[in-house]
Chains A and B, each alone.
Chain A
């Protein structure tokens, strides 16, 4: 650790605004993924001016700089792959403005996703993107990763809800993108900034759209004796032109893991369940819930249950949102994948995932956003078993390769980070990646911000496959 940098940071932020001891840094070497990387120090800015100063110091001392929200990310986006300063936005967590009339809010990056929705609930509004980690993850992190969530099926992902940003670029320059009104002039810099995984700048302020809470919601739980029947139901709901607010699937293995933990009332002997939300105008919900139930039954659902009240609905969703936590109770480590496929390819893809599990003798649970074809296979492994870890990564790669073969993508909402950089060439040509890098260089010319992310590094595969230090089994909140 550079002593002069540390002194400068402490002078700027106070002694309690900087962490640098090994025992403190240990917490910041993880996120929700299986990746590990230790920063040299962690800085806690209080305001935008602090962020500008921190970027200045990083430039002065030529050390990398990585932004961090709650550290719930699943691709190593907030890890200091090449060391340096992690900038935590934990102290920049204020909701600066709520404009109910125009359905907008201006927030600092450290505001927790669910806190914004809670804060505006009395006005009948909410912030629609709802990652499973929404009780912990921050809106700054959501912006960097362009996060999704179950209800983004109908409402869109983070980028569809961001109107304007204020950010400090790698040069220390403070820039505003977009505007509180729609259609700002010139190129859509907000659009390209959202999802840039911390490689363009440190976001210091975000103006988001707030969405009116639906008048009516119906939650359906459809139970199946076969995974194929469940996936075919999803494909047909899509083909029929019904867009549920959310359409989630859990396989039997996951159901049992969750039920043991949350007691949500999921049937223990089922092969799969679908958890489907229909929301909107009462009259619309009535008709669509009926149509969805009909599709479920036509595809041999053993039962289709309608949540009776909000309590039951919340319990079912609690079960879904704690699926990863449930996996953590069973296995010391697990690896959550994030592939996307066209929805018609769901049945074939789930079959392939199961084959891959058998091939490597790995337990793979499936809990995912079925409605938009976004898979989250959870592969369990034992961190003490090097061979099993290597098999886990191989199995995960094979799943992703199959997704690409099906016309899909390597990540739907978790980001590329340091987890999938080496997979990017499977989707993009060198020319594609080169243009992306040149665009990055506009914002981040010297590569100081979040180095070693998104783009394949020059490191050989052998090195990348080396098992990192044991990962925490904690759920991604």
Chain B
């Protein structure tokens, strides 16, 4: 990397003011992605400034990475070069909120927690119960593609983002979609940015549909001896008229991790001590409604759980258990020095077998593991090696290779979301054979022809 830092720094200061250019190495460490620290960080205050910075990056041959609260910079982002961190936390305004229309337009740097407070005042919400929620920004949440247990009911961001404004790699301010709940004018380009890990553009406005906040909440937790039995419960719920807000299967270790030792900053609420009374597989189903609705859920769920031990939590305790489930990833990352988070998706009916295979593979490699499986067919499988050495890495690598094969056989998907920085270049990304990779590359090139952003997430897959 060659970068005339002083010249670039003054160029950036000309755009955002020198107070918003950070060149102090001690501060820049906090902007590391993987093990690369940028030379500078810049804090734009408007979409125009973002566009100017992008154009400067083009003319100076710099690479930019947009960041928010920096909670997920440890993700497996395939960066080769990273000159300037584009810190979007000053772009934290609510551009428009029309509660009676249930629509909202925000800048990316607004913290989820702050936004939730504004929405709660109007008894509304966004279903973004995502990991790192107490610190994360809206933009980072959308760009990273992390999901929420609430997707069981509300779908994912692609289902409730109505439009966006973003800055392309050529420094152009572009919008797609709109701010109404139904709209088919033009291509839905904004969908491409969801989960794109900052590789296509910098979001400067995100338009959402908002939702009425759920009425009083309840969580039903049933305990089973095996993954198969837990998956059977999931299947019975899926085939019933019930429409829960969340539905997760927790492996024995996941239940154990989530019921103890959760870092205070996660703010998931106080969990009653009896939530996970015994080691085993747990199914956590949450739902909301009036008293009659809650009674109905409890009655039906008890019947579906059969002989399994089950408990029901109400209100804040129910919120707490969903909060813990939400934070599975940060909790797993804290658990081992070499935690690797693998995300797998399959048809929901295939989860039980996949969980079984994955557990067997990890155990055969001598690695401890923990997993949560969302009812929609997504498994977060955490490998928890005892160390962070070459031996651990090679075991992890073998397990991932096996998991990729297993997912491929089931028509599923796999992605390694988190792994130790020094392993990132050594553990190859795995995905099933896809015919659309070439189109993705071309898209990347249209949005960012000069390569000022991170490579496309699948760039290194042949």
Chain A residues close to B by CB (< 8 Å): 99, 101-104, 124, 145-146, 148, 152, 156-157, 159-160, 174-177, 179-189, 191-192, 194-196, 212, 214-215, 235, 238-243, 280-284, 286-287, 340-344, 369, 372-374, 407-416, 420, 424, 427-429, 431-433, 435-436, 438-443, 454
Contact = CB atoms under 8 A, between A and B. Distances in A.
Among B123, B145, B349, residue most surrounded by chain A Cβ atoms (within 10 Å): B349
B434 interface: yes
A374 B196 CA distance: 31
Nearest to B344: A181
Contacts of B414: 185
A152 B440 CA distance: 30
Contacts of B186: 416, 424, 427-428, 432-433, 436, 454
B187 A188 contact: no
A179 B182 contact: no
Contacts of A372: 180-182
A204 to B, nearest CB: 13
> Which among A180, A242, A424 has the highest number of chain B CB atoms within 10 Å?
A180
B188 interface: yes
A280 B243 contact: yes
A435 B168 contact: yes
Contact of B187 (A176, A196, A243, A287): A196
Contact of B241 (A181, A212, A454): A212
Contact of A411 (B172, B183, B235, B447): B183
Contact of A195 (B184, B413, B436, B446): B184
B159 A439 contact: no
A428 B211 CA distance: 27
B347 A187 contact: no
A383 B156 CA distance: 46
Q: In the A-B complex, list the 4 residue pairs whose CB atoms are closest, starting with the nearest.
A: A241-B212, A191-B191, A215-B241, A181-B345
B439 A440 contact: no
B133 to A, nearest CB: 19
B158 A191 contact: yes
B248 to A, nearest CB: 14
B174 A191 contact: no
A239 B443 CA distance: 39
A441 to B, nearest CB: 8
Interface string B428-441: 00010011110110
B180 A179 contact: no
Contacts of B103: 342
A283 B296 contact: yes
Interface residues of B, number: 83
Contact of B439 (A102, A146, A443): A443
B192 A409 contact: no
B327 interface: no
12 contacts: A157-B182, A174-B435, A175-B435, A185-B413, A186-B431, A187-B456, A195-B188, A340-B180, A343-B100, A409-B182, A435-B446, A435-B447
A195 B184 CA distance: 7
B182 A340 contact: yes
Interface stretch (B60-68, B249-257, B286-294): B286-294
Contacts of B159: 156, 160
A186 B440 contact: yes
A26 to B, nearest CB: 29
Most buried by A among B188, B242, B243, B431: B188
Contacts of A408: 178, 180
A416 B431 CA distance: 36
A283 B179 contact: no
B174 A183 contact: no
Contacts of A148: 182, 184
B173 interface: yes
Contacts of B434: 176, 185-186
A431 B447 CA distance: 12
Contacts of B304: none
Given A239-B99, A340-B183, A431 B345 contact: no
B178 A427 contact: yes
Contacts of B295: 283
B196 to A, nearest CB: 6
Contacts of B147: 183
A189 B377 CA distance: 20
B101 interface: yes
